[in-house]
């Protein structure tokens, strides 16, 4: 299900092909975020045109609203949201644990918490989380994990890593049982989540335990959540030595364009982040610096703040070298006007450009690896 097509001679970067029940993904790849089943402001057709190969939805949010019954009756998440390419569903661990005040109980069996929507009591076990993702017909299933915020408290991180590993074991058992009669091609992939914070020994223990259980892919959780970026790269350097080479690796929630490049060089294959879509909605736009050819140079891109007065009468597109729909038809002045007057069209047009930038960045990364330039 994962094939390395090209290993760079210059770094640990690799181009791969990941096969899922809804098609193949060329890696390294960036997953646009569709938390509640929609990438904010875009239709699936627009996502397709931008070259999105896979989107990321969230089990926890879909469980709260609209609930699994409605999605099941629609025939699964793909049918419900009109998207026929792969979908990765995050387990919701990150979302549950980021609202700690709502958690009533957490132990080896699972987690009990109050819904942030209506206060309803919800109980999730590792196996229930797998079952929900089966109902959603997700292509890549994530295990439930205990994801702590960035902490310098080793004891707490240690306990969270132990719990994550225990839950991973339970998740694998549930997954094996649920999909034992499903043919390999229709079988969703199961990804584990490596935890352990900024502590190298805990990270190493986490990987070693998860490898023993055995997963289709390995995600790295609990990074780029506020720790110094040098520490992030240091942890990635260590992880890249230990993660199984022939399995896809996914750095959750990262990141800025230069961070993606740095992670790719350390052997990461999959990414997701709210940055391009969220920043677009605030008028923060990404453009390639066409004077800098190499992605090795962190100045390969720059940011444009569209709300800045200097763009008030700026007749240029966001990026004259960009082939996206927005840059082909609209000036910075018009886009700024839409944004300042709170026209919904601004959100759509700016999201198109930023996602186009991110997906083009991934294409450039794959080309650079193919030529041993990264």
Catalytic residues: 90, 272
Q: Which is nearer to Zn ion, 251 or 350 (CB)?
A: 350
Verify binding: residue 239, Zn ion, rule CB under 5 A. Answer: no
Taking Cα atoms as reference points, which of 360, 356, 225, 336 lies closest to residue 284?
336
Verify binding: residue 324, Zn ion, rule CB under 5 A. Answer: yes
Cβ at position 322, least distance to Zn ion in Å = 3
Phi–psi pair at 137, nearest 5 degrees? 65, 40
Q: Is the dihedral of CA 29, 35, 39, 45 positive or negative?
A: positive
**Token pair listed for 188:** 């969703």
Verify binding: residue 306, Zn ion, rule CB under 5 A. Answer: no
Cβ at position 46, least distance to Zn ion in Å = 13
**Token pair listed for 283:** 């008028």
Interacting span for Zn ion (CB under 5 A) from 9-17, 230-238, 325-333, 341-349: 325-333
**Token pair listed for 166:** 């225990």
Helices (H), the chain: 44-50, 59-64, 68-73, 77-81, 93-98, 126-136, 154-178, 200-213, 229-242, 257-265, 275-281, 325-329, 332-340, 344-370
Q: Indicate the pairing of strand 14-20 with strand 2-7.
A: antiparallel
Cβ at position 244, least distance to Zn ion in Å = 38
Verify binding: residue 265, Zn ion, rule CB under 5 A. Answer: no
Cβ at position 80, least distance to Zn ion in Å = 30
Verify binding: residue 348, Zn ion, rule CB under 5 A. Answer: no
Verify binding: residue 322, Zn ion, rule CB under 5 A. Answer: yes
Verify binding: residue 353, Zn ion, rule CB under 5 A. Answer: yes
Q: Which is nearer to Zn ion, 42 or 236 (CB)?
A: 42
Interacting span for Zn ion (CB under 5 A) from 34-42, 205-213, 268-276, 348-356: 348-356
Residue ranges in contact with Zn ion by CB under 5 A? 322, 324, 326-327, 353
């Amino acid at each position: 299900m994962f094939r390395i097509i090209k290993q760079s001679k210059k770094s640990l970067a690799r181009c791969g092909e990941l096969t899922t029940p809804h098609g193949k993904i060329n890696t390294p790849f960036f997953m646009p975020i569709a938390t509640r089943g929609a990438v904010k402001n875009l239709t699936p057709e627009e996502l397709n045109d931008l070259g999105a190969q896979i989107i990321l939805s969230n089990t926890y949010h879909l469980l709260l609203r609209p609930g699994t019954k409605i999605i099941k009756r629609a025939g699964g998440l793909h049918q419900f949201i009109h998207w026929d390419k792969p979908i990765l569903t995050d387990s919701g661990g990150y979302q549950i644990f980021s609202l700690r005040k709502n958690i009533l109980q957490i132990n080896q069996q699972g987690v009990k918490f109050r819904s942030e929507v209506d206060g309803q009591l919800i109980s999730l076990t590792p196996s229930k989380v797998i079952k929900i993702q089966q109902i959603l017909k997700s292509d890549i299933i994530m295990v439930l994990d205990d994801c702590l915020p960035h902490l310098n408290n080793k004891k707490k991180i240690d306990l969270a890593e132990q719990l994550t590993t225990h839950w991973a074991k339970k998740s694998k058992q549930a997954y094996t049982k649920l999909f034992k009669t499903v043919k390999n091609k229709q079988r969703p992939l199961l990804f584990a989540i490596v935890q352990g914070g900024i502590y190298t020994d805990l990270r190493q223990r986490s990987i070693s335990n998860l490898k023993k259980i055995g997963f289709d892919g390995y995600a790295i959780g609990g990074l780029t959540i506020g720790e110094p970026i040098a520490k992030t790269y240091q942890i990635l350097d260590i992880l890249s030595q230990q993660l199984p080479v022939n399995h896809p690796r996914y750095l959750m929630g990262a990141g800025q364009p230069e961070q993606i490049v740095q992670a790719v060089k350390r052997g990461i294959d999959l990414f997701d982040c709210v940055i391009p879509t969220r920043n677009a909605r605030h008028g923060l736009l990404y453009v390639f610096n066409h004077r800098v050819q190499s992605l090795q140079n962190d100045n390969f891109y720059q940011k444009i703040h569209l709300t800045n007065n200097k763009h008030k009468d700026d007749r240029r597109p966001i990026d004259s070298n960009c082939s996206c729909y927005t840059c082909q038809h609209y000036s910075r002045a018009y886009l700024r006007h839409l944004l300042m007057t709170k026209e919904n069209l601004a959100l759509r047009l700016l999201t198109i450009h930023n996602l186009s930038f991110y997906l083009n960045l991934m294409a450039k990364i794959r080309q650079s690896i193919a030529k041993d330039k990264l």
